Amino acid sequence: MLTVIGEGLVDVVQRRSGSEAHVGGSPLNVAVGLARLGHPVQFIGRYGRDAYGDSLAAYLRSSSVMVPLPPDDKPTSIATALVDDDGAATYAFDLDWELPGLAERLPLMLQGATLLHTGSIATMLQPGAAAVLAAVEYAHPATTISFDPNCKPSIISDRGYARAQAERFVALADVVKASDEDLEWLYPETDPLESARRWFHLGGDGGPAVVVVTRGATGPWGITAAGETQAPAPRVQVADTVGAGDSFMAALLSGLVDRGLAGGQYRHALRSMPAEALQALLEHAAKAAAVTVSRPGANPPTRAELNGEDFSLSDSLPPTEYSSERQP
């Protein structure tokens, strides 16, 4: 069982041609991405007892994601995405983030979990962020932990606080993914790859085994104990960038699970992963992001699409900017 803890919300996407509503939220998108890649997944997050909440829960269940928490009496969170003519999205949020009673439910909900992913608003916005950190600390001994800061400066504008929160989760994580834009915002005037190298050493021997940076058309980069590597970005016509980083994250984690590297007992094997194995994972995850940007909204690929059975990428099209989800 794979577990994702974090925010679920409704994305109201506004384009020049009109607006439409879709279920979203970075952790929720990762949960759906993992399920579409064939993994049993549960999503632990809050949603309201309202029409948007009904849509959110129905979407998760239709994607074969288990939803162990019932709705509460607060409104479902909303993110408004403004998509420009180049397909890049900026966001504004109206949300509530808390998970009362989570600690008491964790022993049952995390029984048998091999991987726990979290990130984004869920790890920054209080009071829920404290509950998520406690969940990660509880799960850490037996579970592979992954983290994506997916910074939202329009929600958490205190850079120092955001940096400290991110570093708390990085020190506990086995797998970390960030965009170059995340790292540039968290550590101004520092090269993003240098910031990622510093994250790799957070927590000493107990810190991350893998740190990955997505860099748009330049392609993803990663570091393990065996060294650094990178992969090219596939070439694809961009519809928009909504959810692309989340599809990358889901495919990266899926690749680790497929290789038998999920679970606390496999931590040593994960740390011993050679650089060429990470490069293959980066290529796999970059293709997932490219599939997502080729169509509107946060629509992650299925395993068949990612294996090339139902989808192909053209070498003749411009390179994707799949990590350019610009945050206000």
pLDDT of residue 66: 97
- 316 pLDDT more than 80: no
Q: Strands across the sheet with 2-5, in order?
A: 65-66, 41-44, 2-5, 115-119, 144-148, 175-179, 210-214, 221-224, 227-230
Angle (CA) 27 29 35, round 5°? 105
Q: What is the mean pLDDT of the chain?
A: 90
pLDDT class of 56 with cuts at 50, 70, 90: very high
Average pLDDT over residues 302-313: 73
pLDDT of residue 311: 54
Closest CA to 245 of 288, 194, 279: 288
State the amino acid at position 102 in one-letter form.
L
State the amino acid at position 145 in one-letter form.
I
Compute the distance between CA of residue 244 and CA of residue 248 in angstroms, rounded to an integer: 6
Q: What is the pTM of this model?
A: 0.90
What's 262's DSSP letter? -
Would the CA dihedral through 72, 63, 154, 174 be positive or negative?
A: positive
Q: What's the CATH code, domain 2-97+112-306?
A: 3.40.1190.20
Compute the distance between CA of residue 120 and CA of residue 23 in angstroms, rounded to an integer: 16
Task: Tell me the pLDDT tens digit for each residue of 126-162.
Answer: 999 999 999 999 999 999 999 999 999 989 999 999 9
pLDDT class of 322 with cuts at 50, 70, 90: very low
Task: Tell me the pLDDT tens digit for each residue of 189-213.
Answer: 999 999 999 999 997 778 899 999 9
pLDDT of residue 82: 84
In which residue are the tokens 């929600």 written?
155
Which range (163-172, 182-191, 235-244) has the least confidence? 235-244
Task: Tell me the pLDDT tens digit for each residue of 231-277.
Answer: 998 888 887 777 899 999 999 999 999 999 999 999 999 999 999 99
Which range (12-26, 168-182, 193-207, 264-278) has the least confidence? 12-26
pLDDT of residue 315: 37
State the amino acid at position 178 in one-letter form.
A
Bond prior to 192 in cis (omega within 30° of 0) = no
CA 71 to chain centre: 23
- 280 pLDDT more than 50: yes
